[in-house]
Chain A
Protein backbone atom coordinates (compact mmCIF):
# COMPACT_ATOMS: atom_id res chain seq x y z
CA UNK A 1 0.00 0.00 0.00
CA UNK A 2 1.24 3.48 -0.90
CA UNK A 3 2.19 5.39 2.23
CA UNK A 4 3.92 8.57 3.38
CA UNK A 5 5.28 9.00 6.91
CA UNK A 6 6.74 12.24 8.26
CA UNK A 7 8.94 12.59 11.31
CA UNK A 8 9.17 14.04 13.80
CA UNK A 9 5.57 15.06 14.42
CA UNK A 10 6.74 18.21 16.13
CA UNK A 11 10.08 19.97 16.42
CA UNK A 12 11.13 22.93 18.48
CA UNK A 13 14.36 24.76 17.56
CA UNK A 14 16.20 27.80 18.75
CA UNK A 15 16.77 30.49 16.18
CA UNK A 16 19.89 29.56 14.21
CA UNK A 17 19.78 25.87 15.18
CA UNK A 18 19.80 23.88 11.94
CA UNK A 19 17.88 20.61 11.61
CA UNK A 20 16.17 18.26 9.16
CA UNK A 21 12.64 16.99 8.67
CA UNK A 22 12.07 13.53 7.23
CA UNK A 23 9.51 12.19 4.76
CA UNK A 24 9.62 8.43 4.17
CA UNK A 25 7.53 7.00 1.39
CA UNK A 26 6.47 3.65 -0.01
CA UNK A 27 5.08 3.71 -3.51
CA UNK A 28 5.27 1.37 -6.46
CA UNK A 29 6.85 4.07 -8.60
CA UNK A 30 7.52 7.75 -7.91
CA UNK A 31 6.26 10.43 -10.26
CA UNK A 32 6.99 13.32 -7.92
CA UNK A 33 7.46 14.31 -4.27
CA UNK A 34 6.13 17.65 -3.11
CA UNK A 35 6.94 19.76 -0.06
CA UNK A 36 4.47 22.32 1.22
CA UNK A 37 4.42 24.77 4.09
CA UNK A 38 1.18 25.44 5.97
CA UNK A 39 0.68 28.38 8.33
CA UNK A 40 -2.21 28.40 10.84
CA UNK A 41 -5.45 29.42 9.16
CA UNK A 42 -3.95 29.16 5.68
CA UNK A 43 -3.83 26.68 2.86
CA UNK A 44 -0.67 24.72 2.04
CA UNK A 45 1.89 26.77 0.15
CA UNK A 46 4.01 24.98 -2.43
CA UNK A 47 7.77 24.84 -1.77
CA UNK A 48 9.47 22.19 -3.93
CA UNK A 49 8.94 19.29 -6.30
CA UNK A 50 11.53 16.51 -6.55
CA UNK A 51 11.31 13.92 -9.29
CA UNK A 52 14.24 11.51 -9.00
CA UNK A 53 16.71 10.17 -6.46
CA UNK A 54 19.70 12.44 -6.01
CA UNK A 55 17.81 15.59 -6.88
CA UNK A 56 18.15 18.63 -4.62
CA UNK A 57 16.36 21.98 -4.55
CA UNK A 58 16.99 25.08 -2.46
CA UNK A 59 15.07 28.15 -1.47
CA UNK A 60 16.46 30.59 1.06
CA UNK A 61 17.12 28.60 4.25
CA UNK A 62 15.41 25.44 2.97
CA UNK A 63 16.96 22.58 1.01
CA UNK A 64 15.08 19.49 -0.08
CA UNK A 65 16.78 16.23 -1.03
CA UNK A 66 15.46 12.93 -2.34
CA UNK A 67 16.53 9.29 -2.17
CA UNK A 68 14.69 6.18 -3.34
CA UNK A 69 12.98 5.83 0.05
CA UNK A 70 12.86 9.24 1.66
CA UNK A 71 13.18 12.98 1.37
CA UNK A 72 14.71 15.43 3.78
CA UNK A 73 13.89 19.07 4.24
CA UNK A 74 16.98 20.70 5.71
CA UNK A 75 16.51 24.01 7.49
CA UNK A 76 19.69 26.02 7.91
CA UNK A 77 19.87 28.71 10.59
CA UNK A 78 16.10 28.94 10.97
CA UNK A 79 14.30 32.11 11.95
CA UNK A 80 11.02 32.45 13.88
CA UNK A 81 9.19 33.13 10.60
CA UNK A 82 10.05 29.60 9.50
CA UNK A 83 7.63 28.32 12.14
CA UNK A 84 4.88 26.38 10.34
CA UNK A 85 3.70 22.87 9.57
CA UNK A 86 5.64 21.26 6.72
CA UNK A 87 3.74 18.74 4.63
CA UNK A 88 5.11 16.12 2.27
CA UNK A 89 3.05 14.53 -0.52
CA UNK A 90 3.91 11.87 -3.06
CA UNK A 91 2.45 11.19 -6.47
CA UNK A 92 2.86 7.63 -7.67
CA UNK A 93 3.14 6.55 -11.29
CA UNK A 94 -0.05 5.26 -12.85
CA UNK A 95 -2.13 7.00 -10.18
CA UNK A 96 -3.63 9.75 -12.29
CA UNK A 97 -2.56 12.72 -10.14
CA UNK A 98 -3.64 11.41 -6.74
CA UNK A 99 -1.39 12.73 -3.97
CA UNK A 100 -0.61 10.66 -0.89
CA UNK A 101 -0.11 13.05 2.00
CA UNK A 102 1.92 12.78 5.17
CA UNK A 103 0.55 14.19 8.42
CA UNK A 104 3.17 16.90 8.59
CA UNK A 105 5.86 18.14 10.95
CA UNK A 106 4.96 21.10 13.13
CA UNK A 107 8.04 23.31 13.45
CA UNK A 108 8.42 26.01 16.08
CA UNK A 109 11.48 28.28 16.02
CA UNK A 110 12.06 30.25 19.18
CA UNK A 111 13.80 33.63 19.04
Chain B
Protein backbone atom coordinates (compact mmCIF):
# COMPACT_ATOMS: atom_id res chain seq x y z
CA UNK B 1 0.00 0.00 0.00
CA UNK B 2 1.31 3.43 -0.99
CA UNK B 3 1.81 5.51 2.11
CA UNK B 4 3.70 8.13 4.05
CA UNK B 5 4.57 6.95 7.55
CA UNK B 6 5.39 9.26 10.44
CA UNK B 7 6.67 8.36 13.87
CA UNK B 8 5.87 8.97 16.60
CA UNK B 9 2.18 9.81 16.26
CA UNK B 10 2.10 11.53 19.62
CA UNK B 11 4.86 12.96 21.80
CA UNK B 12 4.90 14.99 24.99
CA UNK B 13 8.31 16.30 25.93
CA UNK B 14 10.04 19.18 27.69
CA UNK B 15 11.72 22.35 26.53
CA UNK B 16 15.25 21.85 25.25
CA UNK B 17 15.20 18.08 24.84
CA UNK B 18 16.23 17.25 21.28
CA UNK B 19 13.75 15.19 19.31
CA UNK B 20 13.40 13.71 15.84
CA UNK B 21 10.20 12.95 13.95
CA UNK B 22 10.74 10.39 11.24
CA UNK B 23 9.01 10.32 7.87
CA UNK B 24 9.22 7.55 5.31
CA UNK B 25 7.46 7.11 1.97
CA UNK B 26 7.25 3.98 -0.21
CA UNK B 27 6.20 5.63 -3.49
CA UNK B 28 9.69 6.52 -4.77
CA UNK B 29 8.74 10.20 -4.69
CA UNK B 30 11.41 12.82 -5.29
CA UNK B 31 9.68 15.66 -3.44
CA UNK B 32 9.09 15.62 0.30
CA UNK B 33 7.90 18.32 2.66
CA UNK B 34 7.13 19.08 6.29
CA UNK B 35 4.18 21.17 7.46
CA UNK B 36 2.78 22.29 10.75
CA UNK B 37 -0.94 22.84 11.25
CA UNK B 38 -2.22 25.27 13.86
CA UNK B 39 -5.78 26.50 14.51
CA UNK B 40 -6.49 29.71 12.66
CA UNK B 41 -3.20 29.51 10.75
CA UNK B 42 -3.76 26.45 8.61
CA UNK B 43 -0.97 24.44 7.03
CA UNK B 44 2.40 26.15 6.89
CA UNK B 45 5.45 24.67 5.22
CA UNK B 46 8.56 24.20 7.35
CA UNK B 47 11.10 22.64 4.96
CA UNK B 48 11.02 20.79 1.70
CA UNK B 49 13.31 18.60 -0.36
CA UNK B 50 13.36 18.27 -4.13
CA UNK B 51 15.58 15.18 -4.03
CA UNK B 52 18.35 13.44 -2.09
CA UNK B 53 20.75 15.93 -0.50
CA UNK B 54 18.62 18.89 -1.70
CA UNK B 55 16.65 20.72 1.00
CA UNK B 56 15.29 24.25 1.31
CA UNK B 57 13.41 26.43 3.77
CA UNK B 58 9.68 26.86 3.70
CA UNK B 59 7.72 29.62 5.38
CA UNK B 60 8.46 28.78 9.02
CA UNK B 61 11.88 27.07 9.25
CA UNK B 62 13.15 28.65 12.48
CA UNK B 63 13.94 26.08 15.15
CA UNK B 64 13.85 23.10 12.80
CA UNK B 65 16.37 21.07 10.82
CA UNK B 66 15.94 18.41 8.17
CA UNK B 67 18.11 16.01 6.22
CA UNK B 68 17.57 13.93 3.09
CA UNK B 69 20.23 11.25 2.92
CA UNK B 70 17.96 8.67 1.31
CA UNK B 71 15.13 9.14 -1.12
CA UNK B 72 12.50 7.51 1.10
CA UNK B 73 13.30 9.27 4.40
CA UNK B 74 12.98 12.90 5.47
CA UNK B 75 13.36 13.34 9.24
CA UNK B 76 12.43 16.54 11.05
CA UNK B 77 14.75 17.53 13.88
CA UNK B 78 14.01 19.90 16.73
CA UNK B 79 17.39 20.56 18.33
CA UNK B 80 16.06 22.57 21.27
CA UNK B 81 12.25 22.43 21.27
CA UNK B 82 10.26 25.28 22.76
CA UNK B 83 6.57 25.53 23.71
CA UNK B 84 5.75 27.54 20.57
CA UNK B 85 6.60 24.43 18.55
CA UNK B 86 3.67 22.60 20.08
CA UNK B 87 1.64 21.71 17.00
CA UNK B 88 0.38 19.03 14.63
CA UNK B 89 3.04 18.10 12.09
CA UNK B 90 2.56 16.50 8.70
CA UNK B 91 5.02 15.01 6.26
CA UNK B 92 4.07 14.86 2.58
CA UNK B 93 5.57 13.53 -0.62
CA UNK B 94 4.89 13.76 -4.32
CA UNK B 95 6.35 12.99 -7.72
CA UNK B 96 8.90 15.30 -9.27
CA UNK B 97 6.47 17.09 -11.64
CA UNK B 98 5.61 20.48 -10.18
CA UNK B 99 1.81 20.21 -10.28
CA UNK B 100 1.47 16.73 -8.81
CA UNK B 101 -0.63 16.35 -5.65
CA UNK B 102 1.11 15.76 -2.36
CA UNK B 103 0.34 12.67 -0.29
CA UNK B 104 0.29 13.17 3.45
CA UNK B 105 1.12 11.10 6.48
CA UNK B 106 -1.32 10.85 9.39
CA UNK B 107 0.47 13.44 11.46
CA UNK B 108 2.50 13.78 14.64
CA UNK B 109 1.05 15.69 17.55
CA UNK B 110 3.86 17.30 19.52
CA UNK B 111 3.42 18.92 22.92
CA UNK B 112 6.42 20.81 24.30
CA UNK B 113 6.06 21.64 28.00
Chain A residues within CB distance 8 Å of chain B: 31-32, 34, 36, 41-46, 49, 51, 87, 89, 91, 96-99, 101-104
Given contacts A91-B98, A97-B98, A102-B42, contact A41 B107 (CB under 8 A): yes
CB–CB B106/A42 < 8 A: yes
Report chain A residues within 8 Å CB of B41.
103
Given contacts A41-B107, A42-B107, A97-B48, contact A34 B101 (CB under 8 A): yes
B40 and chain A: residue at smallest CB distance: A103
B96 and chain A: residue at smallest CB distance: A97
27 examples of A-B residue contacts, CB within 8 angstroms: A34-B101, A36-B104, A42-B107, A43-B90, A43-B92, A43-B105, A43-B106, A44-B43, A44-B90, A44-B104, A46-B102, A49-B99, A49-B101, A87-B42, A96-B98, A97-B31, A97-B98, A98-B45, A99-B43, A101-B42, A101-B43, A101-B44, A102-B42, A103-B40, A103-B41, A103-B42, A104-B42
Most central of A41, A49, A97, A98 by chain B CB within 10 Å? A97
How far is A86 from B31 in the complex, measured between Cα atoms in Å? Answer: 23
Size range of the chain B interface in the assembly = 20 to 34
Report chain B residues within 8 Å CB of A34.
101
CB–CB A43/B101 < 8 A: no
Report chain B residues within 8 Å CB of A43.
4, 90, 92, 104-107
Interface string of B81-113 (1 = CB under 8 A from A): 000000000101000001101111111000000
CB–CB A51/B104 < 8 A: no
Report chain A residues within 8 Å CB of B101.
34, 46, 49
- What 12 additional pairs, Cβ within 8 angstroms, besides A44-B90, A45-B104? A43-B4, A44-B104, A46-B101, A46-B102, A87-B43, A89-B43, A97-B50, A99-B45, A101-B44, A103-B41, A103-B42, A104-B42
